[in-house]
Each structure stands twice: as C-alpha cells, then as structure tokens.
Structure 1
Amino acid sequence: MTLTTEPRITRAPFYRSVGDETEVFRAAARRGSPVLLKGPTGCGKTRFVEAMAHELGRELITAAGHEDMTAADLVGRFLLQGGETVWVDGPLTRAVRSGAIFYLDEVVEARQDTTVVIHPLADHRRELPIDRLGTSVPAAPGFQLVISYNPGYQSVLKSLKESTRQRFVAIELDFPPAEIETDVVAYEAGIDAETAGTLVRLGQAIRRIDGSPLREAASTRLLILAGGLVAEGLPLRAAVQSAVVRTLSDDADVVRALGELVDAVLPRS
C-alpha cells in the first residue's frame, strides 16, 4: 500500500512557473474546483501541488495510486483496537473533514471504485459518501481535490473516463524550458549552473530521440538525481551512467546507444 500523509509544508518548495498554471490553480482553489494535472512522469506535478499548498497555507495530504488501491484505502475502514472495533478515517476522509488539499497521484492506476468515490467530491455536491457508516461527510471549507495522470504513458485500458475528466479543471504540465530546468536542477541537486546546464542538455537530447524505444523520457527528476551524485563527489559521467542511462533501460543495445549520446553531449575530461 502506498499511502502517505504530509504535514503542512513549512518551507516553500522550489517551483518555477512555466505558463499560467499557478494562476489557474489559484482561481480553482478560490472556487473549490477540483484540478486534474496532466503530464509526463518526473516533470514536476507533485512539486507544483506542494508549492501551491504552501502558497495557500493549506495542509497537503497525498496518496499514490496503484493497482491494489481500493476505495477503503482512501475513505477508511473498521479496525480492531484494544479489543474493540473502531472506525479509522482514511487520508481522503481526513482531508475532507479538515479542509486540506488532497492529491491523488496517478489516479488511473488505482481500481475503478476509487474513481467512483471521488465523483461526489468533484461536483456540486462536495461530499464524501461513507457507505460503511451509512453517512456522507460534507467537505470542509478549503478542501480541494487534485488528481494527476500521465496520458502519454497510460494504456487505453487505463485512460481517464470522460465522466471523471469533465468534473475537473485541467492543467497540462511538461518538462520546462532549458533555462528554467537548469535553475531547478541546480537548486535541487546543489550543483553549479554549468553542470546543471550540461545535464539538462543531455536530458533534452534523450527526449528528442526519434522513435525512442524508451517507455519514459529522461525526467527532470532523473537529472536532479544525477546532479545529487555529482554534489557528493561522483564524476559527472559516472553519475549520469548510474542515475540516467542505467535507470532508463535494461536493454544492452539501448544502454549502448544512450552511452554514445552521453559521449556526444558531455564535455570531455
């Protein structure tokens, strides 16, 4: 089970706006409108939500969708405590009661009953039905539902249904322009701008590969991981091999091709 609850973020997360995403999110938050974030893995969707929660002064509760996740994981269940059966709220119920932002990452990875349970929260009703208690919990002021998925990665069988999609304000995110991505990698990894710029050039080169055999592109997250290894004293090429090349593929031919691309982009020592 991959459920996480995060306390109110006290330090402002580092996020650089690329378009109008912050303005759209603020407007949606003022209306209590649910938000759908679309974009490739590792492009900054989670960091964006963290930054907006901090700006709005709201608690952020998150859950990562996966194939074993059920509605009960989100809503809650009866558990034995001290010889008694007691109801324990799930993370979604806690967010609804407290007026927090609830972020469900990779929503289509979860079972369909999880999607059904969020529908009443994502329309005019703004309430969470708890069938096992025979009641519905109205959303407290400030509650906001945010979900995300990667439309380029998900299979047709796991696409987001129109009945769900049309309840949300959609914000599309992508990998940021080179100058912004360089700032992000430098800040998050704790490295100089020149090294960060080199990593970003490599990431962009990998993303531009025609007919790429890779399931996922080289994400900003991977570039930060490589930069973090450099910050710890690892040579740049070794860091890239471990955090980027070997992470992106297990296929020997693909790894070899990526290695050749690394040789073309990274400076010779």
Structure 2
Amino acid sequence: MTTIPTGQTFNVAATFGVNAKPGLEVHGFADDAHPQIPVRQPYVFRPELLRDVLAYLHAANGDGLFLTGPTGSGKTSLICQIAARLNYPVQTVTCHGRLELNALIGQFVLINGSTRFVHGPLSVAARDGHLLILNESDLMDPSELAGLNDILEGQPLVIAENGGEVIQPHPQFRVFATGNTAGSGDRSGLYQGTLRQNLAFMDRFRVISVGYPDADTEKQVVLAAAPKLPLDIIDKMLRVAEDIRRLFLGSSEGEPELTLTMSTRTLVRWATLSLTFKGAPNVFEYALTQALTARAEPEQQEAIHRIAADIFGDYWQATP
C-alpha cells in the first residue's frame, strides 16, 4: 500500500528566479526527502520553456510533453531542475532499440530464491504521481512505445502479468519524452539509430523545441557552473561556441564545415575543466581537447583549436 504524498503550492517567481505575475503558484509536493527527487543544482530557467513545462504540469489534459532539440541543449536538465524545486520524484529511462514495454511496466525477478513481480518505472510513476522521463525516446522501437497510448490519455494501466493488476493513474502523473528528432526521423545523419515514430503515439504529445540558450542566458549558465572563471574568459568561450555552431549548421548555400558542435553541456564542461586543470600549461587548449575535440577528426580538431586560439589571443597560452 503506497502513501499518497502531501501536495504543496510554490510561488513561481521565488521558486525559479524568474519574473512572474505576483501570486502565481504551481503545484508540487511537500516531502523533499524522497530519494528520487532530482538533486537540485544551480540553473538558469528560460521563461518561455519554464512556462510551457509548468502549464503541462498544471493540466496535462490527456497529453504527454515531448521536448526536441540538439544534443546538450538542456532538455532533460530542464525537467529535472523543475522537479527538484517542486519536490517531484522522477522516474528516468534512457531508451534504446532493444528496450521493451514490459521493462517499463515491470517484470518477475528472482529475489532470495522466490519469484516476485517488481513494478517498473512506468507503473511506479503512474501509481505514485511521479514524472516519467523517456530520454532519447526516438531510439526506441515505435511498436513498443505505442503501448503507452492508453495511459497517456488517462486510462488505467492493466498489468496482465501480475494477475490483472489495475493501476489508476495518479492525478499528478506526467509523461515526458525527449529526442534529438521530433519523431519524424533524422535527415541530418548526425543522430544514428533514431527511428521514425508511430504517428498515433506522437499525436498524444505536445511538442516544444529546446534550442541552445541565447548568449546572455548561456553566460549565466556557465557562470553558475564555474563562478571562479573570469568573465572575459567566459565571453571568449561563448564566442568560440558561436563560431563552432555556425560552421556545424552551415548555410543555405553550402554544406556544414564541421560534423560536431559545442553544446551548452560541452561549453560548461570546457569551463569547469579549465578550473580543474588551473595552472597547467595551455590549460584552455587542454580542457577543450578533453571537453570536445579529442573525438573530432584531426582536420576538424585543428580548425576548432585555430578558432579558439584566434579568439583567445594571448590568453590561449595563459592560465585562468
């Protein structure tokens, strides 16, 4: 028998550090000790994305919420950091081509010599009012994901394998899915293994696009992650990231010149590694290699380092 957690309302402006209407509140939970509440970390919320997620948490209306965008743009961290501030427990699953629906619902497991049915992340989230996050959902077999159609609409989850157990979805149960594509397949060739998803499944989702933050927001993100890094160094890192992304995206007239990009996640990694290896020779180049360019083709690694050296100037050989 599970205990239904006590609800609590949170002031949006104070909770998320954004400008919001006075008195605007959002529902969450009072218990902040649940082991599956994400760890709260410094985070800069983009108001338009925060608005869309909070609107979904307030009223799902039979929908899931699909977040699509390039790698490292902050799709999962957005959900988790909102959940951390609202004391929402989260069940997270990283999807792949061999993941089956039964693994999400539950399965029989041998425990101390006897077989017991262990509920999976979908069952636990639906029963207890948690958030279910299906990361990289476009890597999963669409025929398996289609098994979620009914529960997304609020229908009970019937577990035939466990004697026909019926789980009525908790009012606060929500389903999020993330993907580098929007379920229509990958035309860029950059995201190997992604699959075109079932139209009926995708039709049950609201879809929001999560791009890389604007320069001012991204600067705050990097500063929050590496507060001891000088501002002029952060500005130069942002300029390097901007140039790499421009060459990665290409133009309408030409093909992209780079096959990898600097995500916000990679940018933060570069900044924090620069502090980790503070005092080492050529620290910014060394940190950039670990953060990004060690996985680049030699010609592209050289091109990226040349961009960074031009932007950093004398700092390229200096220490932070």
For normalisation by structure 2, the TM-score amounts to 0.75
Residue of structure 2 equivalent to 1:48? 78
Whole-Å separation in 2 of the counterparts to 1:96 and 1:68? 23
State the Cα distance separating 1:145 from its structure 2 match. Answer: 0.3
Q: Equivalent of 1:266, from 299, 306, 312?
A: 312
Letter of the 1:128 counterpart:
L
Alignment of 1:30 onto 2:78: no
State the Cα distance separating 1:167 from its structure 2 match. Answer: 0.5
Q: How many equivalent residue pairs?
A: 261
Shift in alpha-carbon separation, 1:61–1:124, aligned structure 2, 3 A: closer
Letter of the 1:131 counterpart:
A
Which has the higher mean CA deviation after the structures are superposed, 37-46 or 225-234? 225-234
Check the 8 A contact 1:39/1:45 in 2, yes or no. Answer: yes
Check the 8 A contact 2:143/2:198 in 1, yes or no. Answer: no
Residue of structure 1 equivalent to 2:161? 132
Whole-Å separation in 1 of the counterparts to 2:193 and 2:290? 32
Report % sequence identity. Answer: 22
SS at match of 1:146: strand
Check the 8 A contact 2:158/2:167 in 1, yes or no. Answer: yes
Letter of the 1:195 counterpart:
I
Residue of structure 1 equivalent to 2:43? 14
Residue of structure 1 equivalent to 2:294? 246
Shift in alpha-carbon separation, 1:193–1:159, aligned structure 2, 3 A: farther
Q: Equivalent of 1:184, from 187, 207, 221?
A: 221
State the Cα distance separating 1:205 from its structure 2 match. Answer: 0.6
State the Cα distance separating 1:137 from its structure 2 match. Answer: 1.8
State the Cα RMSD in Å: 2.3
Q: Which runs of 5+ in 2 are unaligned?
A: 1-33, 316-320
Which has the higher mean CA deviation after the structures are superposed, 251-260 or 80-89? 251-260
Correspondence list, 1:1-269, <5 A: 7-9=36-38, 11=40, 13-17=42-46, 20-32=48-60, 33-125=63-155, 127-133=156-162, 134-151=164-181, 153-154=190-191, 158-190=195-227, 191-209=229-247, 210=250, 211-212=255-256, 214-232=258-276, 233=278, 234=280, 235-247=283-295, 249=296, 251-269=297-315
Whole-Å separation in 1 of the counterparts to 2:42 and 2:166? 34
Q: Which has the higher contact order (CA 8 A, sep 6+)?
A: 1
SS at match of 1:158: coil
Residue of structure 1 equivalent to 2:20? none
Shift in alpha-carbon separation, 1:50–1:68, aligned structure 2, 3 A: same
Check the 8 A contact 1:67/1:110 in 2, yes or no. Answer: yes
Which has the higher mean CA deviation after the structures are superposed, 98-107 or 255-264? 255-264
Check the 8 A contact 1:62/1:91 in 2, yes or no. Answer: yes
Deviation track 1:205-253 (CA, whole Å, cap 9, x = no partner) reads: 1000133354442101111111111111152222112212223x2x222
Check the 8 A contact 1:117/1:129 in 2, yes or no. Answer: no
Deviation track 1:41-84 (CA, whole Å, cap 9, x = no partner) reads: 10011111012213433111211112232212211110111221
Shift in alpha-carbon separation, 1:117–1:216, aligned structure 2, 3 A: farther
Q: Which runs of 5+ in 1 are unaligned?
A: none
State the Cα distance separating 1:103 from its structure 2 match. Answer: 0.6
